[in-house]
Structure 1
Amino acid sequence: MTTTTSARRRTGSTAVAVLVAGTFFMELLDGTILATAAPAMGRDLGVDSAAIGIAITAYLVTLAVLIPVSGWLTDRVGSRTVFAAAIAVFTVASGLCALSTGLVDLTLWRILQGVGGALMVPVGRLVVLRSAGKDQLVTAIAILTWPALAAPIIAPFIGGVLVDTLSWHWIFLVNLPLGAIAFVAALVLVPQERAAQRVPFDWLGSLLACFGLGALVVMASLLALDTVPVVAVVVSGVVGAVCTWLAIRHFRRAPHPIMGLDAFRLETFRVSHAGGSLFRLAVSAVPFVLPLLFQDAWRWTALEAGSAVLFVFVGNLGIKPATTPLLRWFGYRPVIIVSAGIAALTVVAMAFLTPDTPLWLLAVLLVVSGAARSVGFTAYNTIAFADVEQADMTPANTLSSTLQQTAAGFGVAVAAVVIRAGAGLEGSGAYAVAFWVIAVLLVVALVEGVLMSRSAGDAIRPARRQRVRA
């Protein structure tokens, strides 16, 4: 491959990665921003603000149950067609959400929006993984990682600003111009790729996965409510566990499963989705706990709380240029160990925060925490595909997207359950307990990092001689 051809490929894969990252950001933002706008939406639609939770849950459940279908649909119809159509569906549904006059139609349009989001992000990431190549995989995944870091942090702030200065409708209307730009960019940048061999659709596996994942996400959403419906939680948990178990058995035996499990034989993929899932769960919980601590325990305003949490985003953004060089210089094992360790220490420190903590000290703590979560996210997301062959990329990407979506959803649920369990403690005691639990999850991820092979991820880590030449 000539230098010119290689440079063109790098430029093309980077452009596609930026496009997919932008659509990922839209999807994640709409998954989290509604919580901020719920009171205003409830008043306008004539329902209690807690009832808006059904629109949030409907969106998350739709994402979970349809992600497994994305890989098969891409191989059958074509990557550009599916990706562009998903952007169009998501954008149109956003406009319809803004036009909603009641909770029923809002929920229906949120389901349609979830359909677009469930196809948009996994398909986009699959295109990036196929086009990047091993030498550009680290950079491409680093670009794809920032929306998962940024959206949960800045969503409360953006939501508060839009609702206070304009109206709740604008949390959906902002997607219209962004979606239009992304649609045109997708038609220009994304290649049209299909599988060489057409395989039949796995109806049984798809149904089992949909019911299993959907029920588990419903259970997580119910656990996060202020008043937990115990019977509904138990029923959804049992249904989710049984269907997921049956789905796993089916996937191991089916000739063409909707989600292949072969990637778990690879250490790098296994680490990314075992300890990596705990890491994602833990860092997803922190942006949920911090605003509650600031508002409920410290009596800060929503704007003050949202502004303070932005320091985590500063850490995410500030460390981003160094993330890829760190992985290339030190390798995955040391980076995962150190990032999980620093993240755990910062979360432990959060347990000792008080209203009298100096703002500068709080800012430093949140910036360091954000930097650790940024590096860890990128390391786990990149190493997942280090040893996956191109022919196996579709099932591995589908499985990865499904597991990541489930882990992120359970992060908020775990934090909510712990805070509720410690409700009888004085002051900010319940939040301190939540931080300790989150820290324990990060320590478990750290231990797995210690046990992983020193050579893990070397397939996408340039040799030292190559790095010097660069």
Structure 2
Amino acid sequence: MNRRIPLVLAVALFMEQMDSTVIATALPAIAADINTSPIALKLALTAYLVSLAVFIPISGWMADRFGARRIFAIAIGVFLVGSIACAASGSLVEFVVSRFLQGMGGAMMTPVGRLVLLRSTEKSELVSAMAWLTIPALIGPLVGPPVGGFLTTFLTWHWIFLINIPIGLAGIVFALTVLPKDDGRPTGRVDWVGFLLSGAAASGIVFGLSVISLPVLPPVWGLAATVAGIACLVAYLGHARRHPRPLLDPKLFSNRTFALSLMGANLFRIGAGAVPFLLPLMLQLGFGMSPFQSGMITFASAAGAIVMKFVIRRVLKSGGFRRTLLVAAAGAAVSIAINGVFTPLTPVLVIMTILFLGGLVRSMFFTSANALTFAEIGEAEAAQASSITSALQQVSIAIGVALAGGILDVVSSYNGGELTLGAFHAAFFIIAAITALAIIPFLKLPPNAGEAVSGHGIERAGPRAASPVRN
């Protein structure tokens, strides 16, 4: 495996992952500068998520049609242009449109980057390669808030976006020089009806849940958008059964390993994905810490994620996917529940130790689940599988944040509307229980699932273990 390939992809994806959260701490400063309110400015967060949801489904078709390397480089370029536009924005409308443009680039980066990795990596090396792509998703949401707070405090909020310029330019150069050349392949005409229905389904659900969790618009709007998104999803499934080449083919779910992996991973993501939302809020609102202080503490999770990258391959070879995922899901659920007993009197070292261990098991889970999802997917199906995976990730993250926010609201309503530390504790306990539900799908996995990728139970590498992700 060319180890430069996952590194190039990881750097670009880290830029996207961090940028999606770095804006949160700068909202008051941006709002004051462009003469709007922080609540109204949260429309920019929603616009970014909606853009991701709309354009992720078509990313696989574009990568197949025009070449994954070319589309990945273009995606970085679009994201970069959006970043510059954000920094130059002088009004709410301009900023929201700029964030939507950023989302268009981000929508292509993650699924297409994963596709490049799948097509350039031998199955026996897939776990190590996926570990690199897991780290940005784990570290980005943790690094974003403190970096945003630092840049906004000591420079100006514009640097949150301007810092992407050198990273993006370097990403484009390395993408075009390091990533394998891919001229595309015959794909037939794009399924425009499928694109409209899938985009409406994903964006409706993500927009609706975002509105429910962020009080930007009346909650009834969020409920209506969510229902409309679900209706479009049902319509898309009917369309896909009739279309000879649907944009996203539901038949992929007939692959048992793929289906169970996605089900378990998204249940896990609904729970564990809410932690980057809940933990900084609890440390700041419940413990009285500054954004920078809370960011330095939560970074312990990122340290755990990095450490796991170096041992995950040996863990999987020893225990296999099924056992590793069961242990990781259970361990993550326990670590999240422990967050629910933290108080301002809890020693910082104890908090950081628990967060470090939580980062270890979450990284173990995500790296294993991401690799297993594609362990039995052929090259012809890889583009669609990557798009489906990315779309479901966005929906599950939106559900997790909406659920966490809803729990805080409900518990607070019993305390006269006051957001107390007890509300955060209740949210962590419920989120931990949902995370534990991920155990159920993985119990149905056979012990030898994905053995060509994990190496578990294989005495020596056979043809399957030594070949790239192709059928």
Higher deviation after alignment, 230-239 or 206-215: 230-239
Q: Select 1:123's aligned residue among 103, 109, 112.
A: 112
1:230 counterpart residue number: 219
Shift of residue 262, structure 1, vs aligned partner: 2.2
- For the 8 Å contact 2:50–2:207, the answer to whether it is kept is yes
Distance 2:183 2:446 in 1: 35
Question: Contact 1:315–1:368 at 8 Å: present in 2 too?
Answer: yes
* Aligned-residue RMSD, C-alpha: 1.7
What does residue 6 of structure 1 align with? Answer: none
Q: Which residue of 2 aligns with 1:450?
A: 443
Calculate the TM-score normalised by the size of structure 2: 0.94
Deviation at 1:124?
Answer: 1.7
User: What is residue 203 of structure 2 aligned with on the other side?
Assistant: 214
CA contact (8 A) 2:54 2:202 kept: yes
Partner SS for 1:423: helix
* 1:295 maps to 2:288: no
How far apart are the structure 2 equivalents of 1:317 and 1:114? 27
Identity across aligned pairs (percent)? 37
Structure 2 CA distance for aligned equivalents of residues 239 and 246 of structure 1 = 10
Give the SS at the match of 2:248.
Answer: coil
Q: CA deviation at 1:121?
A: 2.1
Structure 2 CA distance for aligned equivalents of residues 164 and 290 of structure 1: 21
**Aligned partners of 2:272 and 2:432 also within 8 Å:** no
Q: CA deviation at 1:194?
A: 4.5
Indicate whether 1:148 and 2:137 are aligned: yes
Distance (whole Å) between structure 2 residues aligned to residue 183 and residue 448 of structure 1: 39
Which amino acid is the alignment partner of residue 426 of structure 2? V
Q: Quick one: distance in 1 between partners of 2:117 and 2:124?
A: 13
Q: Is the 8 A contact 2:266 2:392 kept in 1?
A: yes
Q: Secondary structure at the match of 2:352?
A: helix
Task: Please state how far the C-alpha of 1:232 moved relative to its aligned partner.
Answer: 0.3
Select which of 383, 394, 409 maps to 1:405: 394
Q: Which of residues 248, 255, 260 in structure 1 aligns to 2:244? A: 255
> 1:78 maps to what in 2?
67
**Alpha-carbon distance between aligned partners in 1 of 2:185 and 2:290, rounded to the nearest angstrom:** 56
Return closer, same or farther for 1:227/1:193 CA change in 2, 3 Å cut-off: closer
The one-letter code matched in structure 2 to 1:108 is V
Q: Aligned partners of 1:284, 1:210: CA distance in 2, in Å?
A: 22
Q: Aligned pair 1:437/2:430, yes or no?
A: yes
Q: Per-residue displacement from partner, 1:77-136 (whole Å, max 9, x unpaired)?
A: 222221211111111221121111111111111111111111122112111101112122
SS across alignment from 2:17: helix
Unaligned runs of at least 5 residues, structure 2: 462-471
Distance in 2 (CA, whole Å) between partners of 1:226 and 1:298 is: 23
Q: Which residue of 1 aligns with 2:465?
A: none
CA drift at 1:145: 0.8
Taking a change above 3 Å as real, the CA distance of residues 107 and 228 of structure 1, as seen in their structure-2 partners, is closer
Which residue matches 2:176?
187
CA distance in 2, matches of 1:80, 1:442: 35
Match status 1:338 vs 2:327:
yes
SS at match of 1:300: coil
Deviation at 1:226, TM superposition (A): 4.2
Q: Show the counterpart of 1:319.
A: 308
Instruction: Please report how far the alpha carbon of residue 234 of structure 1 lies from its aligned counterpart in structure 2 after TM superposition.
Output: 2.0
Contact 1:86–1:115 (8 Å) recurs in 2: yes
C-alpha distance in 2, partners of 1:365/1:281?
Answer: 20
Distance in 2 (CA, whole Å) between partners of 1:127 and 1:348 is: 37
Give the unaligned 5+ runs of structure 1: 1-9
- What is the CA–CA distance in structure 1 between the aligned matches of 2:223 and 2:334, rounded to whole Å? 34
Provide TM-score, normalisation by structure 1: 0.94
Match of 2:441, as an amino acid? E
Please report how far the alpha carbon of residue 69 of structure 1 lies from its aligned counterpart in structure 2 after TM superposition.
0.7
Q: How far apart, CA to CA, are the structure 1 residues paired with 2:149 and 2:383?
A: 38
Residue range with higher mean Cα deviation, 415-424 or 294-303: 294-303
Runs of 4+ in 1 over 4 A off after TM superposition: none
Which letter maps to 2:435? L
The answer (yes or no) to whether the contact 1:74–1:194 under 8 Å persists in 2 is: no
C-alpha spacing 1:228/1:57, structure 2 compared with 1 (3 Å): closer
1:66 aligns to what? 55
Is structure 2 residue 460 aligned with structure 1 residue 466? yes
Contact 2:408-2:427 at 8 Å conserved across structures: yes
Distance 2:396 2:86 in 1: 27
* 1:58-90, Cα deviation, whole Å (9 max, x unpaired): 111101110111111112122222121111111
1:363 maps to 2:357 = no
Report the Cα distance in structure 2 between the residues aligned to 1:53 and 1:158, rounded to whole angstroms: 19
**How big is the shift at 1:349?**
1.3
Query: How many residues of Structure 1 are paired with residues of Structure 2 in the alignment?
Result: 457
Write the distance in 1 (CA, Å) between the matches of 2:276 and 2:29: 21
1:433 maps to a residue whose letter is A
Counterparts of 2:287 and 2:22 in 1: how far apart (Å)?
Answer: 22
Looking at structure 2, the residues matched to 379 and 457 of structure 1 have their Cα atoms a distance apart, in angstroms, of 10
Equivalents in 1 of 2:131, 2:276: separation in Å?
21
SS at match of 1:387: coil
Distance in 2 separating the partners of 1:276 and 1:164: 37
Preserved CA contact (<8 Å) 1:326 1:335: yes
